[in-house]
Structure 1
Amino acid sequence: MRDRKKSSTASSSLSIKSVEEKGTSSIETYRQPSEGDLSCAQQHTTTPLPPPSFAESEFHQIQKTQNTRQQNLLKWSSVPSRYPNLSNAWEFAGWGSTYYLEIEQSDLDLYQQEVAKKPTIGQWRATSIAGNDLIASVLYSVGPCVVQSGRYAPISMLLVAALMYPMKRIITEVATAMPLNGGTYNAMLNSTTKTTAAVAACFSILDYLATCVVSASTASAYLAAEVALPGTLTPFIVTIIILIGFSMICLLGLRESSTLTLAIFTLHAVTMSVVMVASIVMWGKQGSQTLVDNWTRVAPDPPAAELNPVLMIFKGLCIGLLGVTGFESAENYIEDLKPGTFPKVMNNMFGFLLAINAPMTLLVTVLVPVPVIQANAANAVSVLGEYAAGGGRWLRLWIMVDAVIVLCAGVLTGLIGATGLVQRMASDGILPKFFLIRNRFTGSYQYIVLVFLVLSITLYAITGGDTSSLSGVFAVAFLGSLSTFAVANIMIKYKRGRLPRLSRVSLLTAVCTLLVLLASLIGNIVIDPMIAEYFVIYFAVVLVVVLAMLKRCWLWELSYWLFDQMGLLHRYPRFSEKVEDFIVGQIKRIRKSPVVFFTKTDEPHVMNKAIQYIKKNEDAGQIKFIHLYQNASSIPENLEAHHRMLDEIYPKIQIDLMFIQSDFNPATVDAISRQLNISKAQMFMACPGKDFNYSLGDFGGLRIIMF
């Protein structure tokens, strides 16, 4: 038989009333709990209490209404340990306690002060960050599209734009329902399991990595094709210089980076406008003979594929989808946008896509013979500029300069997208916490940028400057990332249908869009089977690293079990003890961070489901159930009794119950997070209803538990 004693764990800055039931007597203790006190308390310090406040007196009344059990003696478990040679005492986390926490108004006011100081960006700066990658994609997508679909390329590009309209609405629904940095990772995290979300994040990580490297190397190739570089300044060196330079710009902070991206965005929009106007003028001068020739010319002995217009249009669609890169990036910095800006950003991006990609492809086929385009697929827009200028090179050189600049901005887009994603994953405990350290001068996540820079240069060096493999990875990762948005949209309809959002698409639209994206993904692999091989290699490396970080506690527990099985080593007690202490220390270090679940009900199946979700998705040895109330009569009468029952059911988890007299709002959650020193990413709540007055993004990372 074992006497149950309750332990208290909270921030040392809190004054907490803990009520202990022992037999039929009630002993009030007033203490400053020490951090990491997860074992059974061996003694209590009793000190005189000051006169109770009104709220504290009400809390005593709450305690009287709870159906607490009088029996506190627990039996030892008869289940044998799985470790015959080592101790399993460390698995017991300690008994939970019941607390009352009083929040001061000054704690609530800090939230408003922080919100007021947070810098935000408007719709055009936000559009330019992701939009640079989007509108630059026409420079390298028009040529390959014409190669695959020939004279049908404008139709393929128009179908791409048509597909992006429902995709725009799908992304907007997902982002406004869950307006947090992290893209599809965040959406999957709040609608599926953490492991599924981590797999989705791997697509995005590869997407951003390939975007940086391919954009930098393509920019250096454009430059080398038109300008004679010094012998020592090879395209390889230029690419590395571009990667380093734009990483340093990213370190200046998002707002400063957006100023540069807006300038580049404006330059590129002006350049594309000049090219299109010049092309239309030349079309009016020379007529449509080239267009007619392109449509009527038949190559001698054409392959069977060229005789099937539907197949050619589909292949052009598959390649043309790579011309919308950047469309998926805006959600990764949605927390930095002004309220209500995100839908405007998506509308702007779709408008530029509709106005540039398909019309530019049409103008290419109007002025340039298809064989010439196919022979110069890498710089088809530059060739168009020369034809539009009547053979002069001034417009072609202008396009070259613009291409180098805007493709460099694509590096910045990849870095900013990766920063938002990695910051979110580090907040959730998947990646190391040092990624959350900000530069004290600019506020940028300096270590994320620097590590991503090292990875980009390393991968570029490994390929020897040949980005064909990364281009294949880029194709699959981008289309995979778009597909996970459609999957996330379907999941939030099924599991998070009550969440408020600014727009909704039908389930049929989401499913049909997903099928088209998957067909395009498969089509790209069929066109170039080597894509699958390259992608599997890179994806496997990223996935292993991410899953190893996610499952590191389980890996240490597996190591502990394997060491226990090595009977020969246990003949040396001192060595065995040191190894045991080391592994146990690593496990406790990972499990020491508590998590919070805001409960409004005393239903045991709801509370138990929350515990089950946390056990499956988090490495936590302590759970704090927090109940916010306005008056004593609103407290569920069986909450304390069910809390104690669950605390006994899960001896490996210390389960505390905390009462706070306050409203459930972002300021309260922020105050609790600061005072308990628990990240908001480690706080959970049930899915709110349609009448909820706040957006999920207002809570700064608070997660919805899977109900």
Structure 2
Amino acid sequence: MSEKSVVQTDEPAEYTITFAPQRNNDNFSTLAQLSYKASNTVEMTDLSVDNSSPQTEHRQRYLEPTLGASTLKSDDMLKTSSVPSRTPNLSNAWEFAGWGSTSFLELHSPSKSDRSSSGTLLGQWRATSISGNDLIASVFYTIAVVIATSGKYAPISLLIVSLIIYPFKNILNEVGTTLPLNGGAYNCLLNTAPKWFAAIAAAVSILDYIATAVVSAATATAYAGSYLNLGKTVIFWMTIGVLCVFAGIVLLGIRDSATVALAIFLFHNCVLSILMVAGVVRWISIGNGVLSANWNENPSENVASEIFYGVCIGLLGITGYEHSSDYIEDQKPGVFPKTMRNMWVNVSLINAPLTLITLAIMPLGVINEHPEDIISVLGEYAAGSWLRILVTVDAAIVLGAGVLTGIIGVNGLVERMASDQILPQFFLIRNSITGTKHFIILGFLVCCVVLYAVLDGDVTSLAGVFAVSFLSVLCMFAIGNILLKYKRHRLYRPIKVSTGVTMFGFASLFITLLGNIVIDPSLAKYFFIYFAAIYGVMMIMLNRIWILKTTFFYLDKIVVLHKYKIGDIIIRMIKSIKQQPVIFFTNTDDIHILNKVILYIKNNELTGTVKFIHLYSNIDEIPPRLESNHRILDELYPKIQIDLMFIQCPFNPETVDAISSQLDIPKSLMFISCPGENFPYRIGEFHGLRTIML
């Protein structure tokens, strides 16, 4: 094995440096000789390693001056570390990651084309339309479920939903504008909490996308099947067919177009406007007789509970609200808050008023007979069969867009998570023909089909699972906002929300989440089964080194298996996992801060190499104790190779891009401490750089 590193020293002397262990036996030897030259750059080569020691070795560093060299006592460089071995029969010397290095890096000039956008940034209406199609499409499956739950009080329940979501849009605004990075709640928690906790947000977000696609496909086929008088079995297979068709579209590399999304958004709003106007005209022509009959039918014994359960289900009518933050980097500056405002206005002007119109012109008995296609039947009651046909076509189009949004959304999220080493790396494999990541799409399709089959195509049950996953995502946003205030309060915030508003938003959504589970406890069963499966995969990925080391420990006890070299296979697997380095940009030499960085990386990242990078303008500005403290930490953590690199460049997005390209390290594995409000750049301009400490 041969490894090279570069060491910087202060004086142009000539030294021989030997890194060697204290010997408990003769089985382990490490010899590294270093020749220091006048260029102040030293190349160190590990000449020989014979690794068969049965126990952890003591290690020493000696610095021995040659003739004519400056005098330096070897004791000044002495470091001894001794830990009893867990594996007395198999060597654990392989856990030593190697000595870190100190070097000056000459950075290649970044090309301006590297920073150019791959496409045009979205304005407020195109940005609104992408997630807005999910939002306003929810009217097709929300109104009937809310009326079935709260009856005549359904309009009141949906009005309360609009009031609850109003302060919550500002919570989303604060999170999105403070950390304007794709990934939604997962990204927020990744920058404010341990990785295992961010994985919870990722798991519920994936479930949310699965439910989005399944409910959209099931509702679209239910509307078409109702009009064509198709049987339940035919509708069941039609839904699976719709999911497969849209998965195939994405597999072929055909992506969602913001212009097409805007056209669908405008068409859907026009159809709903026609429906509402026709409904009001019909209401005026028939008077309040139907509304009065519905109001007096089945007097309620507990008005408050019916309204509350209606609110719980009614929050399903704002699904899509959480998706805008998943593509915030593709939006023009300042567009995200406008997008949130537009969606809130849209849902407030449609859901509660349209529900009231439904109760005013349709008897409750008829409404309850059509839970899967209530809006198209409303069109027929309002203006005849032509409007029912128009609404059915509209439902097929806009709900189809919802399926496509779910598939594309999960594709981006899973890709980000695989890059963050939370999901398996095979998800990043691209199809050689279409360029798409087919394992993500096919895996998502399988999850959708299984969920639909398990619930036997029941749209009401699917909507319940959708509500639980959607509300869980919003709760994670609220938690992320609270952590953002506490742990990253120095970040620049264009929009600020008080802690009281955040706590109110979280409490409201958490209570309604529990309400949905109380309404139908079986929904929680399906939700938690899916959540446990997805989160379990993530936990295995995050803890796979621990799993392999535990396996290695028990393998050590079974001597008869040693001849099969299973231990060597495990060691190779661990080294392969840990070969990806990570970077921390430091502007300080405070050892307690640098130590906190190492502790964070030990607890959250699967790596054996940490690179501290210090950017400077003049060499006199380099913190005086940075190099010596780096060496202390390198001695302190033998299982992590800690390198120190100096780069004479300003700290800006272009420099970070160039470092990422030159060192081949993704920006998702590049960390900084939290910048203050006077920092000249916004964290979103770095496109993935992660804040890991205050």
- Given that residues 12 and 37 in structure 2 are in contact (C-alpha distance below 8 angstroms), is that contact kept between their aligned partners in structure 1? no
Larger RCO of the pair (alpha carbons < 8 Å, separation 6+): 1
Shift of 1:258: 2.8
The alpha-carbon deviation at position 434 of structure 1 amounts to 3.8
CA distance in 2, matches of 1:45, 1:385: 86
Matched, 1:635 2:639: no
Per-residue deviation, 1:634: 1.6
- Preserved contact between residue 290 and residue 368 of structure 1 (Cα < 8 Å): yes
- Tell me if the contact between 2:226 and 2:373 (Cα under 8 Å) persists in the aligned partners: no
Report the Cα offset of residue 382 of structure 1: 2.2
Shift of 1:81: 0.8
Once the 2 structures are TM-superposed, how far is the Cα of residue 565 of structure 1 from its aligned partner? 2.3
1:261 is matched with which residue?
261
Choose the corresponding residue for 1:484, options 473, 476, 480: 476
Match of residue 162 from structure 2:
161
Matches within 5 A, 1:88-237: 88-105=92-109, 108-110=110-112, 112-228=113-229, 234-237=234-237
Q: Residue 693 of structure 2: SS of its match in structure 1?
A: coil
SS at match of 1:307: coil
For residue 647 of structure 2, what is the aligned residue in structure 1? 660
Counterpart in 1 of 2:21?
Answer: none
- The change in CA–CA distance for 1:503 and 1:253 in structure 2 (over 3 A counts) is farther
> How far does the alpha carbon of each residue in 1:45-98 deviate from its partner, in whole angstroms, 9 at most, with x for none?
8899699xxxxxxxxxxxxxxxx9975644543332111111111110011111
Tell whether the 8 Å contact from 1:40 to 1:95 is kept in structure 2 after alignment: no
Q: Which residue of 520, 527, 542 corresponds with 1:528?
A: 520
Give 1:249's aligned amino acid.
I
Structure 2 match to 1:701: 688
Taking the aligned partners of 1:188 and 1:507, their CA distance within structure 2 comes to 17
Give 2:239's aligned residue: 239
Equivalence for 2:24: none
1:439-476 per-residue CA deviation (whole Å, 9 max, x = no partner) reads 68877544423332233234434555456654443221
- Residues 1:474 and 2:466 are matched in the alignment: yes
CA contact (8 A) 1:673 1:680 kept: yes
| 3-state secondary structure, aligned to 1:704 | strand
CA 1:509–1:329: 2 relative to 1, 3 Å: same
Deviation at 1:581, TM superposition (A): 0.5
Q: Deviation string for 1:509-560 (max 9, x for gaps)?
A: 0101111101101111111121122222221111111211121111111111
* Aligned twin of 2:582: 595
CA 1:454–1:195 in 2, change beyond 3 Å: closer, same or farther?
same
Instruction: Answer yes or no: is 1:322 the counterpart of 2:324.
Output: no
Aligned to 1:277: 277
**Can you list the C-alpha shifts for 1:669-703, whole angstroms capped at 9, x where unaligned?**
11011111111111100001011222222212111
Cα distance, 1:409 vs structure 2: 1.4
Shift of 1:226: 0.8
Contact 1:597 1:624 in 2 (8 A): yes
Matched residue of 1:625: which SS? strand
Of 311, 317, 338, the match for 2:305: 311
Q: Determine the C-alpha separation between the residues in 2 that align with 1:462 and 1:371.
A: 29
Q: In 2, distance between residues paired with 1:117 and 1:471? A: 36
Match of 2:288 in 1: 288
Which ranges in structure 2 are unaligned for 5 or more consecutive residues?
Answer: 18-28, 42-71
Alpha-carbon separation, structure 1, partners of 2:586 and 2:220:
53
1:623 aligns to what SS in structure 2? strand
Whether 1:365 aligns to 2:359 is yes
Say if 2:339 is the partner of 1:345: yes
Report the Cα distance in structure 2 between the residues aligned to 1:45 and 1:365, rounded to whole angstroms. 88
Distance 2:600 2:386 in 1: 63
Partner secondary structure for residue 140 of structure 2:
helix
**1:237 positional shift:** 2.6
- Residues in 1 aligned to 2:252 and 2:36: alpha-carbon distance in whole angstroms: 53
3-state SS, counterpart of residue 32 of structure 2: coil
Cα drift, residue 216 of structure 1 = 0.9
Letter in 2 for 1:366: A
Contact 1:333 1:416 in 2 (8 A): no
Q: Distance in 2 between matches of 1:484 and 1:170?
A: 11
2:573 corresponds to 1:586: yes
The answer on whether the counterparts of 1:24 and 1:70 sit within 8 Å (CA) in structure 2 is no
Q: Which residue of 2 aligns with 1:673?
A: 660
- SS in structure 1 of the partner of residue 610 of structure 2: strand
In the other structure, the counterpart of 1:376 is 370
Tell me if structure 1 keeps the 8 A contact 2:8–2:40: no
Q: Does 1:86 align with 2:73?
A: no
Alignment deviations for residues 286-332 of structure 1 (CA, whole Å, 9 cap, x no partner):
3333333333x143xx5xxx222222211110110011111111111
1:334 aligns with 2:328: yes
Counterpart residue identity of residue 262, structure 2: L
CA shift in 2, pair 1:520/1:638, >3 Å: same
Tell whether the 8 Å contact from 1:21 to 1:27 is kept in structure 2 after alignment.
no
| Conservation of the 8 A alpha-carbon contact between 1:185 and 1:201 | yes
| 1:534–1:462 CA distance, 2 compared to 1 (3 A) | closer
2:653 and 2:16 map into 1 onto residues whose CA distance is 34
Pair 1:22–1:536, CA change in 2 (3 A): farther
Q: Do the aligned partners of residues 474 and 118 (structure 1) sit closer, same or farther apart at CA in structure 2, a change above 3 Å counting?
A: same
> Which has the larger displacement, 455-464 or 340-349?
455-464
In the TM superposition, 1:612-631 aligns within 5 A as 612-631=599-618
Q: 1:395 to 1:134 in 2, by over 3 A?
A: same
Greater alpha carbon shift after TM alignment, 542-551 vs 642-651:
542-551
CA distance in 2, matches of 1:416, 1:501: 29
Counterpart AA for 1:19: Q
1:402 and 2:389 equivalent?
A: no
CA 460–383 in structure 1, closer or farther in 2 if over 3 Å, else same = closer
Structure 1 residue 657 displacement after superposition: 0.6
For 2:404 and 2:35, the matched residues in 1 are separated by 57
**Residue identity matched to 1:633:** D
1:388 aligns with 2:390: no
Evaluate the alpha carbon distance shift between residue 459 and residue 525 of structure 1 in structure 2; reply closer, same or farther with a 3 A threshold.
closer
**Post-superposition offset of 1:275:** 0.2
Deviates most, 406-415 or 605-614:
406-415
Give the partner amino acid of 1:83: T
Give the 3-state SS of the residue equivalent to 1:401 in structure 2. helix
Matched, 1:42 2:68: no
Identity of aligned residues (%): 51
Q: Could you tell me the TM-score, scaled by structure 1's length? A: 0.87
